[in-house]
Amino acid sequence: MRLGVNAALVHDRIVEGDVAVEGGLIEGVGLSPAGRTGLAVPGFIDVQINGFDGVDFTTADADDYTRVAGCLASTGVTTFQPTLITLPVPDYFGALGRLRSTSITNARILGMHLEGPFLSPVRSGAHDPRNTLSPDPKLTRRFLDAGPVTYMTIAPELPGALDLIEMLVAEGVTVALGHTDADAPTANAAFDRGARSVTHIFGAQRPWRHRDPGISGAALVRDDVFITAIVDGVHLAPEAVKLAANAAGVRFVLITDAISAAGRPDGRYLLGDRTVILDHGACRLENGTLAGSVLTMDQAVRNMIDLGFDPLRAVAAATSAPAELVRRPDLGSLEPGTAADVCVLDDSYQVIRTIVGGIESFAL
């Protein structure tokens, strides 16, 4: 099947010509004759999203996942990783069990991101600090047995955290550091043990200082650590985005951290067991603490472009970078033989078509 596009983003260059898909895979790029319009890019990947359109993944069932995937398709997302904040322990098992029994066709679900409960109570952010726990290998094993845990955020300064990181890495789980008061030496020890990324850079973590750079300083100067960021114009000042993106280079990963309020009007919504107020684009607890976002991935890409980044660089932060972070070489690329997950953009970088596994999931 030809897509009818006039160009495609392949690695870091534009290839003129059409794209063909067959059997759920990219069959060819740069084909003649080219289509009339549209730039094909890899489908967007969101490794941190808590919910969308009234759905919170803490309580989501298969129908909810299908509905969310349909909403995300309109934003170019073909792969996402549902995320659970710090919750009462029984809530994790229910959510993991429901995800394990869920099968959808209009998006790929990487597995579950547990953003808790092994986080610092002094850097809990919007999470309820009463739900935070010290790292517990036996409880972690129960989580892994309950459902598809693919990613976990941990505070490395907690007792037993470094050993737990090694355990998770051995199980194939991507480990991120976040909601942490760790200093730079502790962060580096965790990265040396296999932690691979930082969760929402600069947010809910020890602040950077010139003699105490903390986790952000440690991560930004390493070439083996990915930096995830919420580029919504609320969580980070433009200078902070530029600092992180310029330092991280190809390791810079866009996330939405969207909650159930995304796609909905102002009002009160749930984030796990927390009530969040959406008001004029910002999600906050009643005490004013930021609590996720209503950002979409296509808007995050456009926000990077508006900050002066090359459009191809912005697209890479939503495609090839997250694919490399989660070690999925079959995703985030339009090389022949990779998954036929495609987002087609117009000249304004608006999404006009989304394809998952060679099957159209959205079109204007």
Give the Cα separation of 360 and 364 in Å (integer): 11
CB 302 within 8 A of CB 28: no
CB 152 within 8 A of CB 141: no
For residue 33, whether the previous peptide bond is cis, meaning omega lies within 30 degrees of 0, is: yes
Phi, psi at 132, each rounded to 5° = -75, 150
Among residues 18, 56, 257, 341, the one annotated as catalytic is 257
State the alpha helices, DSSP H only, in the chain.
62-73, 89-100, 137-146, 161-170, 184-193, 214-220, 238-248, 297-306, 311-316, 320-325
User: Strand pairing of 77-84 and 44-49?
Assistant: parallel
CA distances from 243 to 145, 308, 316 (A): 39, 13, 17
CB 134 within 8 A of CB 108: no
DSSP designation for 132: -
DSSP designation for 342: E
Residue 257 annotated as catalytic: yes
Structure tokens at 170: 């051995």
Give the Cα separation of 98 and 94 in Å (integer): 6
Angle at 127 between CA 121 and CA 128, to 5 degrees: 70
Give the Cα separation of 211 and 10 in Å (integer): 41
End-to-end CA distance of the chain: 19
Give the Cα separation of 52 and 75 in Å (integer): 12
Helices then strands, each counted (H, E), the chain: 10, 22
DSSP designation for 314: H
- Burial degree of 186 (CB within 10 A; 0-12, 13-18, 19+): buried
Query: Which residues are part of the catalytic machinery?
Result: 257
